[in-house]
Structure formats: structure tokens, C-alpha cells
Amino acid sequence: AVLADNGHEVTLWARRDEQAKEIDQAHTNRKYLPDVTLPVTMRATSSLAEALVDKEAVLFAVPSHSMREIAREARQWMTKDMLVIHAAKGFEIDTWKRMSEVLAEELGTEHKEGITVLSGPSHAEEVIRRCPTTVVVASQAEQAAERAQMLFMNSYFRVYTNPDVIGVEVGGALKNIIALAAGLVDGLEFGDNARAALITRGLAEIARLGKAMGAEPITFVGLAGVGDLVVTCTSRHSRNWRAGHMISQGKKLDEVLRSMGMVVEGVRTTKAAYMLKDRYRVEMPIAEQLYAVLFAEKEPAQAVKELMGRGRTQELEEIVGGW
């Protein structure tokens, strides 16, 4: 919708034909964005070929678990000049690869350097109402980041560039874990101090793993770090926060995911963080406790007790150095 507002010819791809038809003909998307009229110039189709042929740019905005499969299928309709952008916030299941790595593998070396990630605090429910929103686009290739910036930027959607693809992807993915934990802590009525603690210590964990994976730690004080953490941990729109809240009320994970009917990236990303912390030998106590709550039936209150009972430590020495 942002791209259509900017005067671009946009074709949205949806896998279900009836969904595509609703968007294309009625200009609504009642299931995901009720009470919204979509730009009438925006087309929609369930044919990948129709969505991709003769296009200048493609934005992959599918859940991270389906990125590889869709990119593999899309490749046949893509040209080497096409700008490739993605907006997914997660890692691939089992390989725990970042989304730009998955795309580079599936789309071939001609796209590798230009793959661009769009991230930051941007709940769809507010962007579609044209509420002031800021995001970041990151790419190894400056030109690609600037192309994406120019495509999306307008009076309500402000786009910054950043060369740190790893930092922007890791920040966007890992904030969902902290948002799940924030929903849990809010559901337990542990108060505002506890939520602020989670956001801040969550950021330290994100920066610790991110740095070990090759990110620039300063990226995490930007839109893909602090920005997205704040919005996802405090917004009523956040699916990750809502899922955490439901679990705090005693609902089982399966039941929560079924009732949401939308992707809750933080669940799989908790598994990813659990594996990646060992691979990169970093400590991630919040992610570890959340893993136990989600997958080993640990009581959330007990998890918080154990987090508060950890041994004495410094605040940020692994990231910025100590005395």
C-alpha cells in the first residue's frame, strides 16, 4: 500500500486465490486488516508469474518459515536487475540462517550483494492508516539500499539506510522473543519496571548474540533494535506480545497459535536463539528461560524468579568492554 501510494504499479501475491480476488476486486482484506480500504491501484493475484514478470523490484513479505520455498519458486520469473527486498523477521527453521542468506542461496549470486532488508517498528495496522512510521533498509550494496529507500519513502513512511544487514536482521528477529516475554510478564502483572527490565536486558542479549554473529552493536540502538523492541513489547497490535499474554493466563502454546491465526515469529525464533547462543557461545538467559516456558512447561513465574536470582554480573561489558 505504501508503494502504491507512491505511485508505483504494485501487484500483491497471495497464495489463496479467493484472498487475491478480494484484494484485487473489492480492495479489502477483511481477515487481516478489517475496516480498511486498500489503494484501488494495487492489484493482487495468486499467480507468482503475474506478480513478478516485468517488475523492477520484489518485496518478500512472507513468514520466515516459507521464505525458501517461495523464493525457489519465484526465481524463474525474476531478472538480475530486479531489486530484492525482504521484510520477514525470523530465522530459517533448523539451519537457523538469516533470511538474506536464504534468499542469496535460492536466487543465485547475481542478487547476493544487493539483497536488502526492510525492518523497524512498523505494525501493518498503523502503516495502512498512514500513521507516521520510521523504518530502516539495510544492504551490503549502498545503491540497493538507496533504491529501496527511494521506492518506499513518503510523508508518513520515513526510511533510513544502514549497511549492517546482519544487525538489522538479527534485531528484527530477536525482538519477537522479548515481546513474547513482555506479554508473559505483563500478564503476570509484574509491573512497568519489569517490562522496562525485559526490554533493556533483552536488548543486551540481542546485541551480545548479534555481535558474535558479525553485527555492529550500534545498530541495536537504531530502529531495528530499540525501535522495534519498544513497539513490539508495548503495542496492542503485537501478535508476539498477545501470544505471551495468553500463555501467562494458562493457555497452552498450541491453543494460542491456533487461536491467533497469524504468524507468531517469536516462537520459532526462541528455538533459534536457544541453538544460536550455543553455536556462538554467548549467554542469553531471557531466551533460555522463555524456551523452558514454551517448550518444557516451566511456570513463567518460576522463570522470572530464576532470572532475578542469577549471579552478580556487569551491565554491558561483553559489548563495550569493561574496566
Annotated catalytic residues are 175
Of 133 and 139, which has the nearer Cβ to ligand NAI? 133
Q: Which does 62 bind (CB under 5 to 8 A by kind): ligand NAI, ligand 13P, none?
A: ligand NAI
Taking CB under 6 A as the rule, does residue 221 contact ligand NAI? no
Binding residues for NADPH: 15-16, 32, 89, 124, 239, 263, 265
Distance between CA atoms of residues 145 and 100, nearest Å: 14
Q: Are 153 and 135 in contact (CB under 8 A)?
A: no
With contacts defined by CB under 6 A, how many residues of the chain interact with ligand NAI?
Answer: 18
Binding residues for sn-glycerol 3-phosphate: 89, 120, 122, 175, 228, 238-240
Task: Determine whether 31 is exposed, middle or buried from the number of CB atoms within 10 Å of its CB (0-12, 13-18, 19+).
Answer: exposed
Taking CB under 6 A as the rule, does residue 62 contact ligand NAI? yes
Taking CB under 6 A as the rule, does residue 36 contact ligand NAI? no
Q: Which residues contact 246 (CB under 8 A, 6 or more apart)?
A: 183, 187, 256, 259
Q: Are 225 and 233 in contact (CB under 8 A)?
A: no
Which of 38, 58, 89, 233 forms a contact with ligand NAI (CB under 6 A)? 89
Q: Which does 240 bind (CB under 5 to 8 A by kind): ligand 13P, ligand NAI, none?
A: ligand 13P
Which amino acid is present at 68?
Answer: R
Of 93 and 204, which has the nearer Cβ to ligand NAI? 93
Q: Are 226 and 288 in contact (CB under 8 A)?
A: no
Binding residues: 15-16, 32, 89, 120, 122, 124, 175, 228, 238-240, 263, 265
Three-state DSSP state, 137: strand
Of 93, 94, 113, the closest CA to residue 103 belongs to: 113
Distance between CA atoms of residues 317 and 150, nearest Å: 38
Contact code string over 244-263 relative to ligand NAI, x by CB under 6 A: ------------------xx
Of 31, 30, 26, 36, the closest CA to residue 1 belongs to: 36
Residues that bind ligand 13P in the complex, under the rule CB under 6 A:
89, 121-123, 176, 179, 228, 231-232, 237-240, 265
Q: Are 177 and 270 in contact (CB under 8 A)?
A: yes
Smallest gap from Cβ 99 to ligand NAI, in A, equals 8
Distance between CA atoms of residues 320 and 46, nearest Å: 48
Of 29 and 122, which has the nearer Cβ to ligand 13P? 122
Q: Which does 15 bind (CB under 5 to 8 A by kind): ligand NAI, ligand 13P, none?
A: ligand NAI
Contact code string over 107-136 relative to ligand NAI, x by CB under 6 A: ---------------xxx------------
Smallest gap from Cβ 60 to ligand NAI, in A, equals 9
Q: Which residues contact 20 (CB under 8 A, 6 or more apart)?
A: 12, 13, 14, 44, 45, 46
Q: Binding residues for ligand NAI, per CB under 6 A?
A: 15, 32, 61-64, 66, 70, 87-90, 122-124, 262-263, 265
